Structure 1
Amino acid sequence: MRALQLERLDGPEGLKLVDVPEPEAGDQVLIDVVAAGVSFPDLLLTKGQYQMKPPLPFVPGVEVAGVVRSAPAGAGVKAGDRVMAFMMLGGWADVVAAPPGMTFRIPEGWSFEAAAGTVMNYHTAHFALHRRGRLKSGETVLVHGAAGGVGTATIQVARGAGARVLAVVSSEDKAEVARTAGADKAFLSTGDWVSQVKEATGGRGVDVVMDPVGGDIFDLSLKCLAPEGRLLVVGFAGGRIPEVKVNRLLLKNVDVVGVAWGAFVMQEPSLTAEIAKGLAELSDKGFVEPVVGQVFPLEQAAQALRELDSRKATGKVVLRVRQG
Structure 2
Amino acid sequence: MRGIQITEFGGPEVLTLHDDLPEPATDGLVRVAVTSAGVNFADTHQAEDSYLAPQTLPLVPGAEVVGRTDDGRRVVALLAGGGGYAEVAAAHPSVVFDLPDAVDDATALALVLQGTTAWHLLRTSARLAAGESVVVHAAAGGVGTIAVQLARTFGAGRVIATASTPEKRQLALDLGADVAVDVSGLDDAAAVRDALREANGGRGVDVVLEMTGGPVFDGSLAALAPFGRVAVFGMAGRVPPAPVQVPSLMARSTSVVGFWLVHVLRRHGGLRPAMEELLALAASGGLRAVAGGDYPLAEAARAHRDIRSRGTVGKLVLRV
Secondary structure of the residue aligned to 1:8 is coil
Give the equivalent residue in structure 1 for 2:173.
179
Give the equivalent residue in structure 1 for 2:140.
147
Q: Write the mapping of 1:192-207 to structure 2, written as runs, cut at 5 A.
A: 194-207=193-206
User: Does the 8 Å contact 2:181/2:199 carry over to 1?
Assistant: no
Question: Which of 127, 130, 138 is matched with 1:137 structurally?
Answer: 130
1:85 aligns with 2:77: yes
1:254 aligns with 2:248: no
- Per-residue CA deviation, residues 265-304 of structure 1 (Å, 9 max, x unaligned), is 2431423222223323433553321111011100000010
Secondary structure of the residue aligned to 1:195 is helix
TM-score (normalizing by structure 2) = 0.92
User: Does the 8 Å contact 1:143/1:151 carry over to 2?
Assistant: yes
- The offset of 1:24, in angstroms, is 3.6
Instruction: Name the amino acid aligned to 2:73.
Output: D
- Per-residue CA deviation, residues 230-283 of structure 1 (Å, 9 max, x unaligned), is 111111101122121222211111111111122x12431423222223323433
Distance in 1 (alpha carbons) for counterparts of 2:126 and 2:88: 36
Instruction: Name the amino acid aligned to 1:256.
Output: V
CA shift in 2, pair 1:116/1:266, >3 Å: closer
Distance in 1 (alpha carbons) for counterparts of 2:280 and 2:89: 28
User: Does the 8 Å contact 1:291/1:315 carry over to 2?
Assistant: yes
Instruction: Name the amino acid aligned to 1:179.
Output: L
TM-score (normalizing by structure 1) = 0.90
- The offset of 1:185, in angstroms, is 1.2
- Unmatched runs of 5 consecutive residues or more in structure 1: 70-78
Give the equivalent residue in structure 1 for 2:67.
66
Question: Which of 164, 167, 172 is matched with 2:161 structurally?
Answer: 167
Greater Cα shift, 188-197 or 124-133: 188-197
Distance in 2 (alpha carbons) for counterparts of 1:236 and 1:185: 23
Greater Cα shift, 240-249 or 139-148: 240-249
Greater Cα shift, 298-307 or 100-109: 100-109
User: Alignment RMSD, CA only?
Assistant: 1.7
Q: Write the mapping of 1:28-43 to structure 2, written as runs, cut at 5 A.
A: 28-43=29-44
Give the equivalent residue in structure 2 for 1:275.
274
User: Does the 8 Å contact 2:192/2:215 carry over to 1?
Assistant: no
- The offset of 1:177, in angstroms, is 2.1
User: Does the 8 Å contact 1:160/1:282 carry over to 2?
Assistant: no
1:215 aligns with 2:214: yes
- Per-residue CA deviation, residues 14-39 of structure 1 (Å, 9 max, x unaligned), is 12111112234322121111111111
- The offset of 1:160, in angstroms, is 1.5
Secondary structure of the residue aligned to 1:270 is coil
Give the equivalent residue in structure 1 for 2:102.
109
Secondary structure of the residue aligned to 1:147 is coil
Greater Cα shift, 285-294 or 121-130: 285-294
- How many pairs were matched up? 311
Distance in 2 (alpha carbons) for counterparts of 1:23 and 1:150: 29
Distance in 1 (alpha carbons) for counterparts of 2:270 and 2:26: 24
Distance in 1 (alpha carbons) for counterparts of 2:24 and 2:253: 51
- Per-residue CA deviation, residues 298-322 of structure 1 (Å, 9 max, x unaligned), is 000001001111111111111111x
- Unmatched runs of 5 consecutive residues or more in structure 2: none
- The offset of 1:196, in angstroms, is 4.2
User: Does the 8 Å contact 1:159/1:287 carry over to 2?
Assistant: no
- Per-residue CA deviation, residues 88-122 of structure 1 (Å, 9 max, x unaligned), is 31000011111111111223322212222221101
Give the equivalent residue in structure 1 for 2:23.
22
